[in-house]
């Protein structure tokens, strides 16, 4: 299946990317791509920590709101990093989905079910 982005969708993502890049500058966030990458990995780790709450008895109960917050942090840093590197993420996504269109996915019919899902939301 080929995912196609409209010109409006590409424009909207590029606009968001630019706004986040500008906001990061105004807030004094790092403009070093390597440091931004490290920050993104830190945020991805926080997503993993929230996801671990789905199955580990060693953590408080999972909340969708907290996971959403962490995913937003990842998106914020990803779009900022793309802007720092001069990569138009919408165009990169479009190109990548075209490359993957003919790929055979081994896991497509073998989903791993989440055994337990708790939510305070």
Q: What is the CATH number of the domain that holds 43?
A: 1.10.287.1080
Give 27-64 pLDDT, tens digit per residue. 999 999 999 999 999 999 999 999 999 888 898 888 89
CA distance 48 to 55: 12
Q: Is residue 72 part of a domain?
A: yes
Residue 101 inside a domain? The answer is no
Question: 52 in a domain, yes or no?
Answer: yes
- Residue 13 located in a structural domain: no
CA distance 20 to 27: 10
How much is the pTM?
0.81
Number of domains forming the structure of the chain: 1
62 inside domain: yes
Does residue 22 sit within a domain?
no
Q: Which domain holds residue 74?
A: 32-94
């Amino acid at each position: 299946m080929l995912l196609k982005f409209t010109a409006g969708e590409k424009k909207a993502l590029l606009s968001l990317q630019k706004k986040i890049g500008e906001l990061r500058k105004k807030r004094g966030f790092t403009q070093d791509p390597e440091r931004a990458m490290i920050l993104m990995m830190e945020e991805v780790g926080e997503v993993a920590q929230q996801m671990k709450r789905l199955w580990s008895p060693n953590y408080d109960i999972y909340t969708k709101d907290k996971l959403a917050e962490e995913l937003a942090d990842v998106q914020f840093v990803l779009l900022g990093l793309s802007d720092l590197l001069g990569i138009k993420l919408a165009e990169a996504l479009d190109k990548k989905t075209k490359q993957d269109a003919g790929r055979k996915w081994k896991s497509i019919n073998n989903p791993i079910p989440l055994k337990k899902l708790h939510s305070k939301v």
